[in-house]
Chains A and B, each alone.
Chain A
């Protein structure tokens, strides 16, 4: 079993829909990152969380440390949100070493 599991693996939505991507992890962590990878490969950091909730524009990330679970929400989705979204965790005690999920491929259609 992978230490970081994301669901769903693939997601298709229509423009305007509310989207949720989930990340569950099985180890103790000190931080969790959400990343976005666009077609063509570039990876951009969206959020870094250690507790609670963060919001940036139409993106919201939450984390529940007790349940070992994080969610990434996209409100009013748009075709430009089409990308692979990757969750990565920093295991407690493993300084600088992130463990990555395999990603959720999101396609938003008109």
Chain B
């Protein structure tokens, strides 16, 4: 049982390049999330999806787009990467939502934009 799998683990991009971070969960969870983690700051929500076919903006959505392809997969796209998007990105999932259920995280994706 893999849990939450996200790829790639490491990526270096040039300013202006695009890329997609992939995330998949095998726990049949409804809710999926993308967070970023920066030094000295708590995890911040970029986008989330409460169920298949729905997505909502989080705290820091600018510069990102998401797709909830199906119940398993939730991808995060950077259309034109900027150095400010250098961060560690975490995908997470939970059964109904963060309030009553355990939340499961992927291993993280280290992204550097130069």
Contact = CB atoms under 8 A, between A and B. Distances in A.
Q: Are A and B associated in one complex? A: yes
B106 to A, nearest CB: 8
B43 A96 contact: no
User: Which interface residue of B43, B107, B108 has the most chain A CB atoms within 10 A?
Assistant: B43
A31 B90 CA distance: 21
Contacts of A50: 100
Contacts of A2: 42
Interface of B: 31, 33, 40-45, 48, 50, 58-59, 88, 90, 92, 94, 97-105, 107-108, 110
Contact of B98 (A42, A86, A97, A103): A97
Chain A, interface SS category = strand
B80 to A, nearest CB: 26
B29 to A, nearest CB: 12
Contact of A90 (B58, B88, B90, B98): B98
